[in-house]
Amino acid sequence: MPRKGITGHDDWVVTEALATALVALEQLPSKHQPRAHMEDVRKILTARCEAGSVTLHLAQAKCRLSPDTDPLTIYEAYGLKDGQG
């Protein structure tokens, strides 16, 4: 069976990259945040995700970028309970 895209899971890789980039940009000081581009990234991420799963991807990205923070605290901050979307 031929692979879809380059890696066989291109959609997942791009979705995770967009979520991680957005969370990383949100952590910059306000004056250094490229707000217009961040909104574009959010729009692209939302278009790529299943309904309601954007916050889950963002919470997972925040967990990756903040490994010393309790994951449950992060999920709750994104409005998710028990790590569920």
- Nearest 5 degrees, angle CA 76-CA 78-CA 13? 120
19 belongs to a structural domain: yes
Q: Is 74 exposed, middle or buried (0-12, 13-18, 19+ CB in 10 A)?
A: buried
Confidence (pTM): 0.86
47 belongs to a structural domain: yes
51 belongs to a structural domain: yes
Quote the number of domains for the chain. Answer: 1
1 belongs to a structural domain: no
Which residues form the domain of 19? Answer: 10-26+34-77
20 belongs to a structural domain: yes
Calpha distance 22→81 (Å, rounded) = 22
* 1: pLDDT strictly greater than 90: no
Give the model confidence (pLDDT) of 16-65 as tens digits: 999 999 999 999 999 999 999 999 999 999 999 988 899 999 999 999 99
Helix axis angle for 54-65 and 35-48, nearest 10°, is: 120
Strand pairing partners for 27?
A: none
5 belongs to a structural domain: no
pLDDT value at residue 79: 94
